Amino acid sequence: MPASLCGTWDIISNTNFEGYMVALGISPNLRKIALKLKQKKVIELKGEQYIIKTTSSFRNYTTRFNVGQEFEEFTKGLDNRRLKSLVTWKGNKLVCEQTGEKNNRGWAHWIEDDKLHLDLYCDGEVCSQVFKKKGCE
């Protein structure tokens, strides 16, 4: 049973977010704004459904899914694409494969040293984010 991802998390590092956004085709102006944001994650599990909220002072993004059940994702306010997404556990990682216009797109979440990790990938670019649990130093 993997460590729980649930909770409220504050970002402490965001490596190659620029490269990931370039791969998604985000405009230079929007990238400049997005790079300065302090992202937060709120992860909840209600029954069988995961709810992952990414929040910031500029835009928020929420996704809801059940592990093992493909769903249609619309990346509203991000790159505004329609994807077919499937989340599964691969060992201790919660892995999402996002099928659509972009190749090799998805993300993986896991816990390491009490930190929440997230790799976001698209077309060979990987953005690695680390979050610390809110209220714990």
Binding of ligand ECB by 63 (CB under 6 A): yes
Torsion angle of the four alpha carbons 31, 100, 2, 115, in this order, in degrees rounded to the nearest 10: 0
Per-residue string for binding with ligand ECB, 15-54, x by CB under 6 A? Answer: ------x--x-x---x---x--x-x-x----------x-x
Binding of ligand ECB by 5 (CB under 6 A): no
d(CA 12, CA 82): 29
Distance of closest approach, residue 54 Cβ to ligand ECB, in angstroms = 4
Binding of ligand ECB by 83 (CB under 6 A): no
d(CA 59, CA 94): 24
- 86, 79 in Cβ contact below 8 A? no
Structure token pair of residue 24 = 């998604």
Binding of ligand ECB by 56 (CB under 6 A): yes
Distance of closest approach, residue 47 Cβ to ligand ECB, in angstroms = 19
d(CA 40, CA 10): 5
Q: Which residues bind ligand ECB (CB under 6 A)?
A: 21, 24, 26, 30, 34, 37, 39, 41, 52, 54, 56, 58-61, 63, 78-79, 107, 118, 120
